[in-house]
Amino acid sequence: MPAENRSGFFITVFSHPALFRIRSSLNDYGFGDFLGGQEEGFRLDTAGEGSRVFPEKGFYIGDKIPFLQKAGFSRFVLDMSDKPVRKQDYRDLMDAVKAARPINGTCRFNWKDGFFTPKD
């Protein structure tokens, strides 16, 4: 894709995405936090008629913004809709994005590697 065509795309660089949505309530199972096959943490959020699974660590690639800008992308999304954001956390996130530096406590969730990998 030519770089001039990339300017209309929005790239999410920070989020706590819901990885799975389940149409039934899982309250009866009696757990909220659990580990995946690679020892990564997940949180079960059951509300209303459904349940969602969130990663314990947020997704962040804000340190890659300069690379993405060179490739022709110019619109970036910081999705903070998961939970209320404290003012200091917002400032820390914005400072990290402006400085294009990584943030401790976040990850680069990799769908290629999958959600669960059995141990040998």
DSSP 33-83: EEE-TTS-EEEEEEETTEEEEEESSEEE-GGGHHHHHHTT--EEEE---SS
Looking at the structure, tell me whether residues 24 and 74 fall in a common domain: no
Locate 65 and state its tokens: 């913004």
Looking at the structure, tell me whether residues 70 and 52 fall in a common domain: no
Asked if the model's pLDDT at residue 84 lies above 90, the reply is no
User: Is there a domain that residue 111 lies in?
Assistant: no
- Are 55 and 40 in contact by the 8 Å Cβ rule? The answer is yes
Looking at the structure, tell me whether residues 30 and 5 fall in a common domain: no
The total number of structural domains that make up the chain: 2
User: Is there a domain that residue 115 lies in?
Assistant: no
Locate 19 and state its tokens: 């990885």
User: Is there a domain that residue 63 lies in?
Assistant: yes
Asked if the model's pLDDT at residue 98 lies above 70, the reply is yes
Q: Tell which residue, 86, 81, 18, has the closest CA to residue 54.
A: 18
Looking at the structure, tell me whether residues 71 and 100 fall in a common domain: yes
Asked if the model's pLDDT at residue 120 lies above 50, the reply is no
Looking at the structure, tell me whether residues 62 and 44 fall in a common domain: no
User: Residue 112 class from Cβ within 10 Å (0-12 exposed, 13-18 middle, 19+ buried)?
Assistant: exposed
Q: Number of C-alpha atoms within 13 angstroms, CB side, residue 103?
A: 26
User: Is there a domain that residue 116 lies in?
Assistant: no
User: Is there a domain that residue 110 lies in?
Assistant: no
User: Is there a domain that residue 32 lies in?
Assistant: yes
The string of pLDDT tens digits covering residues 11-62 is 999 998 888 888 877 777 767 787 776 677 888 888 777 888 888 888 899 9
User: Is there a domain that residue 35 lies in?
Assistant: yes
Domain with 47 in it: 18-56
